[in-house]
Amino acid sequence: MNRYFKEVLDAHVSIQNWLGNADAHDDICENLLSRFSPEFSMVTPGGALLDFAALKAFFRTQRGTRQGLNIEINDMQVIVENEKGATVTYQELQQLPGQEATRRFSTVVFECNHDGHAIWRHLHETSLPQT
């Protein structure tokens, strides 16, 4: 599997485990945050711009706030890939028990850190209509 696809999947497993489980261990959050560049930026589905500090503050206060969260990732595609990183698109479906699922289209820019690991540099999410 493409290493960037694996990173998308692994990061979302961590997000699901952190947000969906009130008993999640602190290491899950620390591992999750280590996946992001200190220069990280994000455009949320609502159009807000977040930096790494805002992302960190969000995750640190959200343990277990979405009990039973299920996240599915589909349709991953590499837009461009080189020795410095890659740009990947994917669709994400999030669902809480008993609620209608939400879908979003995401574009992530990865950069490779000094160890050659893919880290999240920028993420742009757009809400998709309900089907």
Domains and CATH numbers, the chain: 3-128 (3.10.450.50)
Q: Give mean pLDDT in consecutive 10-residue pieces for the chain, a chain of 131 residues.
A: 96 97 95 97 96 97 96 98 97 96 97 93 94 65
CA dist list (Å): 15 to 12, 31, 60, 67, 81: 5, 10, 11, 12, 25
pLDDT at residue 33, rounded to an integer: 97
- The confidence score (pLDDT) of residue 16 equals 97
pLDDT score recorded for residue 131: 65
Coil/strand/helix, residue 130: coil
Task: Give the pTM.
Answer: 0.94
Per-residue model confidence (pLDDT) at position 124? 98
Residue 77 φ/ψ, nearest 5 degrees: -140, 140
CA 34/CA 102 separation, integer angstroms: 26
